[in-house]
Structures are given as structure tokens and as C-alpha cells.
Amino acid sequence: MNKFTISASPHIHSPVDTTFMMRGVIKALLPAVIAGVYFFRMYAVGVLAASIAGCVITEWLLRKTRRQEASLKDSSALLTGMLLALVLPPALPLWMAFLGGVVSIALGKEVFGGLGKNVFNPALLGRAFLMAAFPVALTTWTRPVSLDAVTTATPLGLAKFEHAVTPYAQLFLGNVGGCIGETSALALILGILYLLYHKIIDWRVPAAYIGTVALFSGVAWAAAPQLYAPPLFHILAGGLLIGAGFMATDPVTTPVTAKGRWVFGAGCGLITMTIRLWGGLPEGVMYSILCMNAVTPLINRYTRPRRYGGSNGG
């Protein structure tokens, strides 16, 4: 007989592979990158470059020295570097951004065994490290569209400590103080729509996350409008959109069940709002997602799908 390839079915596969998904997220981040570079100019370019370099070099080096298969081709290290830079302040010293990238990959990903095995979102773990190590640098904000380093406050900081509300138009476009990729709600929404359209992320996570934030802040605002900002403000300000669209939707560190993703998103929303309204910090997105990452295995266990044809079936 002639020789033909024998392999198990199925014999065809979806064109969407891991690299396609990673690059899809990178494409979806481009509007936020462009907005960041527009508002924060060379600062943004520098932090992006340093953070990406930290991630890519660390992954390459760790894989090389431990004689593991090279993995840069899947673009996930590049993505982590981008995500980290977008949640850092523009005027951060470049070596700190680089170090953040190193920590993201080394402690956030490779120490667990590489892509797919990490418990925490690598970019957020890197940011949490920087926040603990350099709290002042991580909370020093630059005024947008100014080439001199004039410090300013973020809309969330203003709302929390001075009860000052930033105009919505400014929040929407991103002409405010904040992290490089967080300020422009418009750019992030464009990216999230792209991800939803290509089914790279599950709509349930952002829906549950943003929905919970809206509900929580809505109740607080209705009860004490002089004290708390309205829901729309909480949705547009700070890291909520980048968190709900790009971090809480990271496949690796979030639940695999549909029900679990509702729980995950709602949990993120509750923790974020608890920190924002009553915590010592103005922003709680990062810690909320890291906390929920930790309970993801538990969520998976308790939200297993109903058995097909089982007692509740049909």
C-alpha cells in the first residue's frame, strides 16, 4: 500500500491558534497604545520599550538557560510587556519599567512553568511588585500632552480625596492624568469591541465586572451623592476598562466555565469598588483581579457544568 498519513480525527482545525489570539489582543491594545503615546509622548514610548524589553529578554534568557523550547513566537511575552507598560505611570524611571517586565515574566509566568501554568496575571503581578517596591514612583502622575513633567492627580484620586469630578468628555477621550494606557476610555472600548467581535474574549467577564461596578457605585451614589461619584465616572475612570477588557479576560488566570466567569467578573467588581470607596487607595482594579486569580481554581471546581442528561436536564 502507498503510505498516507494516519492520524486521529478530527482532521481539520480552526485557524485560530494561540499566536492568533495573542496577536489579536495586541492589535486590540493598539488604540490604547496610540492614545498613550499621544497624551504622554516620549514618556510612554520609553516605558513601553523598557517594559517589553524586560519581558522579552527575561523569557528568552530563562528558556535558553534552562534548555527549554523557545516560546517568544507565541507573542505572549510581548503582550505581557505591553499590558504592563499600559498600567504604569508615564514618568516612571525606565529601569523600573524594565524591572517590572523581568518580574512579570520570571515570577509571574516562568516560575510556574511557562505559558498556561501561571496562577496570577503576569503583568499585574509585575505591577504589584513595583507598587510594593516603589510606591512613590508608581503614584506620581504626569499631566497629559505636556512635555515638561508637571505632576497632577488622577481622576480617581481627585474624586476620592478632593471630591472633585472630572468632566466625562475628558475621561472618555483620555486627556487626564493616569497610567499610559488607562486614560482613554474611547481607545479601550474600541479594543474591547474588537476582541468581542473576534470572540477572543468572553463577553461575560466585562459584562459582570462593569455591571457590578455600575450597580455598586450606583447604590453608593444614590445614598450619598455628595460623597461618592456617579457610576459612569467609576466606569470611565482609572483602570476599570483595561482591567475588565484585557486583564480579567486573560484566559490563563480566569475560570474556564461560563458560570465561573460571571462569578469572577462580579468578584472583581465588588473588590474594586470596596477599595475605591472605602479603602486607602483610590484604585482597586489591580488587587481585585489578583485576588480573583487566586480563587480561580476554587471557582472552577464549584461551577462545573451540569451533567448532560443529568437530573436537571431537558
Partner 1 sequence: MKILTFPGGIHPPYNKDISIGEALRTAPPPETAIVPLSQHIGAPCRPAVTKGDEVSEGQVIGESPSFVSSLVHSPVSGKVQDIKKAFHPALGYTEAVFIERDPGKEPLKYTSCDSEDLTQKELIEKVKKAGIVGMGGAAFPTHVKLSVPEGKNIENLIINGAECEPYLTCDHILMTRKSAEIIKGIEILIRVLEPKNTYIAIEDNKKAAIFAFEKLIRESTRKEISAARVVPLETKYPQGGEKQLIKAISGKEVPPGGLPLDIGFLVQNVGTALAIHEAVEYDKPLIERVVTLSGDCLERPGNYHMRIGTTVKEIVEKLGIEFRQDPKKIIFGGPMMGIAQPGTEVPVLKNTSGILFLSESTAKDLEEKPCIRCAKCVDVCPVNLMPTEIMRNVKARRWEEAEALNVQDCMECGCCTYTCPARIPLVQYIKEGKTALLKKRK
Q: Using CB under 8 A as the criterion, which residues of the chain lie in contact with partner 1 when the complex forms?
A: 1-14, 16-18, 20-21, 74, 114-117, 202, 251-258, 300, 304-310, 313-314
Residue 129: exposure state from Cβ atoms within 10 A (0-12, 13-18, ≥19): middle
In the complex, what is the shortest distance from the CB of residue 203 to partner 1, in angstroms, rounded to a whole number? 12
d(CA 45, CA 48): 5
Select 160 or 261, whichever has its Cβ closest to partner 1: 261
Q: Indicate the DSSP class of residue 72.
A: G
The CA dihedral of 28, 29, 30, 35, to the nearest 10 degrees, is 130
Select 106 or 187, whichever has its Cβ closest to partner 1: 106
In the complex, what is the shortest distance from the CB of residue 246 to partner 1, in angstroms, rounded to a whole number? 14
In the complex, what is the shortest distance from the CB of residue 176 to partner 1, in angstroms, rounded to a whole number? 33
State the Cα angle at 203 between 253 and 76, rounded to 5°.
40
Select 24 or 31, whichever has its Cβ closest to partner 1: 24
Select 21 or 235, whichever has its Cβ closest to partner 1: 21
Residue 251: exposure state from Cβ atoms within 10 A (0-12, 13-18, ≥19): middle
* Residue 151: strand pairing partners: 142
Select 26 or 215, whichever has its Cβ closest to partner 1: 26
Nearest to 177 by CA among 91, 52, 242: 91
In the complex, what is the shortest distance from the CB of residue 248 to partner 1, in angstroms, rounded to a whole number? 14
Residue 301: exposure state from Cβ atoms within 10 A (0-12, 13-18, ≥19): exposed
In the complex, what is the shortest distance from the CB of residue 199 to partner 1, in angstroms, rounded to a whole number? 9
